[in-house]
Amino acid sequence: MTPLQNPPQGLLLVLMLATGSAVHAEPARNVAVANAAARVQPDRAGYINAIQRFAYAEGSLYQVYTAPGQVTDIALEPGERLVGPGPVAAGDTARWIIGDTISGSGPTLRVHILVKPTRPDLATNLLINTDRRTYHIELRAMSSTYMASVAWTYPQDALIALARNSERDAATAPVAAGLDIERLNFGYRIDGKAPWRPLLAFDDGTQAFIAFPAGIAQGEMPPLFVIGANGKTAELVNYRVRGSHMIVDRLFDTAELRLGGKKQQRVRIVREQPR
C-alpha cells in the first residue's frame, strides 16, 4: 500500500485523535486500576455506633456516602489543625455544601468538616490538608442512605508511640526490634466480633504482626489459621508472642483466629493490599 499523499485535513485530524487515544489508553487503565486498589469502603466492623472509623493510610481513597438534607460529619484527630491557604478543597463546589467547625478546646480541640450534597447521584473528591497528614476522600451522594459521621484511627502513629515506649522499657517491648516504620503495610481488614478481637494487623514485607488489646495474656490468644486459596482449607501456623502482639514469620492473604468448640468465635484477617 502506498502512503497517502497530502491527506485531507479532516482525515488527518481523525488519524491524530485515533493515535492519541491509543497512546493514552494504557496510562488511563493504569490510573483506573491504581485508584480502584486505593479505595477504602465503609466496613461494618469499623462502626462505633454511627461513627465509621477508617484506619488511616497515606494515599488511600476513603469512600464517604452522603444524602441530600443530611449532614455528614468528617472528624479529624483531636489536636489536628487545618493548614495552608486552601486546606479543604473539593472538585465540585457548586453542587456540594462544605464547611468546617470545631468542638472542644485546648488539647481536645477537634476540627469537623461538614458535607452535604444538593441532590442525589453526585460524586466528587475532597482533599483535606492538616498539620499532620493529607486526607483523600471520594464523596458520593445517595437518595437516602448516608454516613452520619466519619473518623480515623492512626495505627502507624500508635506503633511509633509503642516503639518509643519500648525504648524506655525494653522489657515490655511489644514488637520485634529493628522494624522500619516506613516499610510497614497496614492494609489489612479485620472482620468479626470477639472479646479478644485484634486492634490491627500489619506486616514489614516478611513477617505479619497482629496487635491485641493491652493486657491480654498469652494463654488467652486464640490460635491462628491461614486460609488456603480455595477459601476452605485452613492451616494452623506457629507464632510468637511479645507483649500484646502476635508475630507470624510469614505473610498471608487471609487468616482466621478461632477459639471455642461448637460455638466457635472467629475473627478473620484479610490482606487488602497486594504483595
Structurally, how many domains does the chain consist of? Answer: 2
If DSSP codes are grouped into helix, strand and coil, which group holds residue 68?
Answer: coil
CA atoms of 129 and 158, how far apart (whole Å):
21
H-helix or E-strand spanning residue 225: strand 224-227
Q: Are residues 53 and 114 in the same domain?
A: yes
Residue 118's CATH number: 2.60.40
Q: Are residues 43 and 143 in the same domain?
A: yes
Residue 266's CATH number: 2.60.40.2500
Instruction: Write down the pLDDT at residue 164.
Output: 56
Instruction: Write down the pLDDT at residue 1.
Output: 47
Cell triple for 229: 486459596
Residue type, 43: D
H-helix or E-strand spanning residue 257: strand 254-259
The contacts of residue 144 (CB under 8 Å, 6+ apart) are: 67
Query: Domain range spanning residue 129?
Result: 26-153
Radius of gyration of the CA atoms of the chain, in A: 24
Q: Are residues 119 and 211 in the same domain?
A: no
CA atoms of 90 and 84, how far apart (whole Å):
15
Q: pLDDT 10s per residue in the chain (275 long)?
A: 445 555 555 554 454 455 555 566 788 888 998 899 889 999 887 888 899 999 898 889 999 999 999 999 999 999 999 998 889 999 999 999 999 999 998 888 999 999 999 999 999 999 999 999 999 999 999 999 999 999 998 877 766 665 555 445 444 444 555 567 777 888 888 888 888 888 889 998 889 999 888 777 666 789 999 998 888 788 999 898 888 889 999 999 999 999 887 788 899 999 986 55
Instruction: Write down the pLDDT at residue 8.
Output: 54
Q: Are residues 119 and 77 in the same domain?
A: yes
Write down how long the chain is: 275
- Which among 183, 94, 78, 90 is positioned nearest to 130, based on CA atoms? 78
By the 10 Å C-beta count (0-12 exposed, 13-18 middle, 19+ buried), 69 is classed as: exposed
CA atoms of 123 and 90, how far apart (whole Å):
10
Cell triple for 185: 503495610
Instruction: Write down the pLDDT at residue 235.
Output: 92
